[in-house]
Amino acid sequence: MDTLDILRAVKSGEISPDDALISLKNAPFEDLGFAKPDYHRSVRQGAGEVIYGAGKTPEQISAITKKLLESGQETVIITRLSPEAAQLVGKEVEKLDYHSEAGIAIAGKMPQPEGDGYIVVATGGTSDIPVAEEAALTAEALGSRVLRLYDVGVAGIHRLLASSGELMGASAVVAVAGMEGALASVVGGLVSCPVIAVPTSIGYGAAFGGVAALLSMLNSCASGVSVVNIDNGFGAGYLANMINRIGNR
């Protein structure tokens, strides 16, 4: 029973205020020994706990996922999940939807988009799509509508300009690019909404595994551009969803 269910039960007289207090005190988290699932994450932040899959065993991921679902969390996002781990977790967790390109899995119910606002996820090149898909799927699993604009980098800027209408109507734009990371600055000069720049580790030697794109994006001359860590599609998608939700409200 989640917090809202408890409050409704108190209102209807199904449980007493004292019993409700005990339930709320016990509800915040559960100690599994190897993890402490946070059942109140959605109450505090508006979205449930997300599982970082890398470094965890399939058994640990399955146990945490099932506990979150049992607690009333309708959608559980698992990031950085390998295909091998996804296959094992899928045997333990029902309705696990795995997206191999992004390395992300979604367990439970996929929500319908809320409101009229939408997020644009754009990439400089096709090689940036795995990171972009992590951002897009994260935002969708949190309830946002996402429009994908892939391979619209500055080497052929007319491809980006052909979608200027979609860009200008967005609540937020996630600009994903490697190499020199110029896409974020160009997008920032076109739109009135926040731009979340995601540097990727794509590029030749002097790209330094994404550091060149990171520094370029941090030094963007366009206003309204914020930057997340290298290859952090999840962080960008989560933040874009928060911005979109504010617009929907």
- What residue ranges do the domains of the chain occupy? 45-108, 118-248
E-assigned strands of the chain?
51-52, 75-79, 96-99, 104-108, 118-123, 145-149, 172-177, 195-199, 225-227
Q: Going by DSSP bridges, is the β-strand pair 51-52/145-149 parallel, antiparallel, or unpaired?
A: unpaired
What pLDDT, on the 0 to 100 scale, is given for residue 15?
84
Q: Pick the range with the lowest mean pLDDT from 26-35, 106-115, 147-156, 170-179.
A: 26-35
What pLDDT, on the 0 to 100 scale, is given for residue 41?
77
What pLDDT, on the 0 to 100 scale, is given for residue 236?
97
Q: Which SS3 state, helix, strand or coil, does residue 174 take?
A: strand
The partner residues of 52 in beta bridges, in order of sequence, read 79
- Nearest by Cα to 32 from 8, 55, 61, 4: 61
Which residue reads 């699993």 in tokens?
141
| DSSP code, position 29 | B
Asked if residue 26 has pLDDT above 70, the reply is no
Dig out the tokens for 135 from the structure.
């951002």
pTM higher than 0.95 for the full model? no
Report the distance separating Cα 2 and Cα 226, nearest Å.
Answer: 34
What pLDDT, on the 0 to 100 scale, is given for residue 63?
92
Q: Which SS3 state, helix, strand or coil, does residue 38 take?
A: strand
Report the distance separating Cα 73 and Cα 1, nearest Å.
Answer: 10
* pLDDT tens-digit series, residues 208-238: 999 999 999 999 999 999 999 999 999 999 9
Give the mean pLDDT of the chain.
90
Backbone φ and ψ for 52, nearest 5 degrees, come out as -85, 110
Asked if residue 1 has pLDDT above 60, the reply is no
* pLDDT tens-digit series, residues 86-133: 999 999 998 899 999 999 999 998 888 888 899 999 999 999 999 999
How confident is residue 85, by pLDDT bands cut at 50, 70 and 90? very high
Dig out the tokens for 218 from the structure.
């941090």
- Nearest by Cα to 154 from 128, 172, 133: 128
CATH topology of domain 118-248: Rossmann fold (3.40.50)
Burial of 127-157, coded b for 16+ CB within 10 Å and e otherwise, reads: bbbbbbbbbbbbbbbbbbbbbebbbbbbeee
Which residue type occupies 202?
I
Which residue reads 């937020």 in tokens?
172
